Amino acid sequence: MNISGWQIAIIALLIILLFGAPKLPKLAKSLGQSMRIFRSEVRTMGEESKRNSTDPDAPDVSAEPSEDPRTDERAPVEGRVLNSNDPTAEQARRTEREQRGDHR
């Protein structure tokens, strides 16, 4: 897609009409600041990546299993596993609901 000079002029005219001439310098300044911040963040991330990859004292982040295999910190759930095809399953559900005080 080739954009010719007159197409760029039309786009520039539309931008001036949409944003107004007084707002254009502020818009350009904020765009420049945003680009500068973006570049510095990208540069910082690259430097951190290089530093972490070449640092011999960096901790090894390998896929070793932890000592505690549970990752969920909640307490284990106690109860029975019910088969939905079991005829006593519905009775057991009713009993559990009554014990919880949930009467449906």
Domain annotation covers residue 58? no
**Which two three-digit tokens encode residue 21?**
């001439």
Q: What is the pTM of this model?
A: 0.36
Per-residue confidence (pLDDT) for residue 57, from 0 to 100: 62
Domain of residue 46 covers 25-50
Q: How far apart are CA 11 and CA 6, in angstroms?
A: 9
Assess whether pLDDT exceeds 70 at residue 2: yes
Could you tell me if residue 73 is inside a domain?
no
**Considering its fold, how many domains does the chain have in total?**
1
Q: Please tell me the predicted confidence (pLDDT) of residue 58.
A: 56
Higher pLDDT, 37 or 55: 37
Among 74, 80, 72, which residue's Cα sits nearest to residue 96? 80
Would 33 be classed as within a structural domain? yes
Residue 15: its pLDDT value, please?
A: 84
In a domain, 80, yes or no: no
Q: What is the pLDDT of residues 46-77, one digit of tens each?
A: 998 888 887 566 555 555 555 655 555 676 67
Residue 7 lies in a domain: no
- The sign of the CA dihedral 47, 52, 55, 58 is positive
